[in-house]
Structure 1
């Protein structure tokens, strides 16, 4: 029997923000260098920063055996164990409007307790039902929506829009007719939430309003999935905020918490796989598998010659 493969996926191993300035210099990551020196590059998941599904979602979906259609990976159905019915996540958030753009602030940055989230959930539920959508309260930051509207409906991942402009990510109702009712529901929610007493109470406490929701994780799931690899989530928040010093600090902690055990397993002869994901591409390395030739093979030679890891050079490929 083949040994169980230990697979670690690292989202936001690189960001689209440039690594410039003294405060943005990455520290040495010796365990990562040692691990990559032992592994063979296997494949690259190539894309760009405009895909609806970021690289780490594509890689995870492929590892699980889920559909990988851009913007239509059925995360809501899979995570909820909902079989055969199309689902989506509704994420309550703050749409921050300025003179020339609207930016989305995700709930984890908004101090949204469950009791307040439930108030808005109950306010939106009858409006959703009029459109044939059933809402289920999963947590303060995520409501599950069920209905045929979410079948074959691409929508940008929350990770694509958190702390970023929305105009490029909202579907075009003229080109995507099945999105029109949902775009209308989003507009109705903005008006409904704007006048909700909850936001007056939040304003009195100096908190941003919850004035909308984002749709993501759309699609139906057939109930089949492979064992999930481990996903290291600690780089996500500072990367999305564009906080490069904190992102670099998170890399040091991640190397200790996640890379070190994987390195120990590899040195002990275990089959391991490491996938580093940026906002454009993802690259996988593995042990015990034949290497595939590729444009990044020169990096493997770099590590195998025992040179210090130039993480900035590596991350530029992501």
Structure 2
């Protein structure tokens, strides 16, 4: 089993304080048994792709230094779009941009509370921006995930949605003219959209923008994710919303759940891998071969790791 945990930590004093309050006994015991595997993935908090996305790319057999990752094409392939997955895709994330006195901030798409019917209505209302006769392919994936395919989207660098949520968008605006034009046209169309008038009438946030990310075509060498990979994303929402109390509670549940299960597997000598993904780096750990004496010693004197410093380093 390979357990991958995105949003295991973040930069900033608030997260550091929350980490200091966490008691993660199962994670400590697990990391006491496992050993670091390979080099850390990532560079800094300003990279377009998150360390979690880099870790997924590695599991797909792709290099992690070949530029922006075609994460939208991965979603297209997983959605069963067939041969269309080989073309360039982009992920469109409906969101609300809040204009302040000195910056424009991106709210988490979840704050729109879009249900399927309303999301599909917005998706249909935007169709004039991507006419099929001009080679565009649009696919509604979920209320907060729309896919857009077109050859012009190949090779365009764009920041992951998780990089921009709850932040000033100026740092993350795409340089590609195609993406800026598409985003501007979407914002103008949404500004005069009757669906938004209905939302404002009931005091809901207007859907006034789309974040475009994950552009590109799936590489021919890309593989399906391994069957034994388990991704637990329960830390994502509270971390992005900077709800540190809920994030700490989610970590405690994760420690008692999936982490505890992986620890049991490792103690039985079964294959066990763990990947922890933070804001800058992702690090993987694996169970090394152990002698009979080591196994006996580990039963009587279980090794433990200091998890807080490991998580802060991500």
Q: Normalising by structure 1, what TM-score?
A: 0.85
Equivalence for 1:253: 253
In structure 2, the residue corresponding to 1:171 is in which secondary structure? coil
- Cα shift at 1:139: 1.6
The alpha-carbon deviation at position 219 of structure 1 amounts to: 1.2
Match of 1:159, SS state, is helix
Higher helix share: 2
Question: Match of 2:225?
Answer: 227
User: Any conservation in 2 of the 1:53–1:156 contact (CA below 8 Å)?
Assistant: yes
Q: Choose the corresponding residue for 1:61, options 49, 57, 67.
A: 57
Rate the CA distance shift 1:24–1:58 in 2: closer, same or farther, 3 A: closer
Once the two structures are TM-superposed, the CA of residue 146 in structure 1 deviates from its matched residue by 0.4
Q: Which residue of 2 aligns with 1:141?
A: 144
Query: How much is the aligned-residue C-alpha RMSD, in angstroms?
Result: 2.3
Distance 1:69 1:189, change over 3 A: farther
Instruction: Find the counterpart in structure 1 of residue 298 from structure 2.
Output: none
Unaligned runs of 5+ in 1: 1-5, 173-178, 291-304
- Cα offset, 1:23, TM superposition: 6.4
| Aligned equivalent of 1:120, options 119, 122, 136 | 122
Q: How does 1:5-154 map to 2 (within 5 A)?
A: 6-19=1-14, 25-43=20-38, 44-66=40-62, 68=64, 72-81=68-77, 82-129=84-131, 132-154=135-157
Cα shift readout 1:201-242 (whole Å, capped 9, x = no counterpart): 111111100011011121111374143321110111111111
Once the two structures are TM-superposed, the CA of residue 191 in structure 1 deviates from its matched residue by 1.4
Aligned partners of 2:32 and 2:304 also within 8 Å = no
Distance 1:46 1:146, change over 3 A: closer
After TM superposition, the structure 1 stretch with the greater mean CA deviation from structure 2, 307-316 or 27-36, is 307-316
- Paired residue for 1:295? none
Contact preservation (8 Å) 1:125, 1:134? no
Give the direction of change, closer, same or farther, for the CA distance of 1:244–1:70 in structure 2 (3 Å limit): farther
Corresponding residue for residue 265 of structure 1: 265
CA deviation map 1:166-214 (0-9, x unaligned): 1010122xxxxxx212211211111111111111111111110001101
2:201 aligned to 204, 208, 226, which one?
204
Size of the aligned set, in residue pairs, is 293
The 1:105/1:71 distance shift into structure 2, 3 A limit, reads: farther
Change (3 A) 1:167 1:317: same
2:161·2:211 contact (CA, 8 Å) conserved in 1? yes
1:10 and 1:240 map into 2 onto residues whose CA distance is 14
Q: Give the superposition deviation at 1:108.
A: 1.5
In structure 2, the partner of 1:237 is: 237
* CA displacement, residues 79-116 of structure 1 (integer Å, 9 cap, x when unaligned): 22143211111111111111111111132121111222
Instruction: State the shift of 1:33 in Å.
Output: 0.8
Shift of 1:19: 4.3
Please report how far the alpha carbon of residue 128 of structure 1 lies from its aligned counterpart in structure 2 after TM superposition: 2.1
> Relative to 1, partners in 2 of residues 1:75 and 1:197: Cα closer, same or farther, differing over 3 Å?
same
Contact preservation (8 Å) 1:71, 1:155: no
Unaligned runs of 5+ in 2: 78-83, 291-300
Most deviating of 132-141 and 144-153: 132-141
1:182 to 179, 197, 203: 179
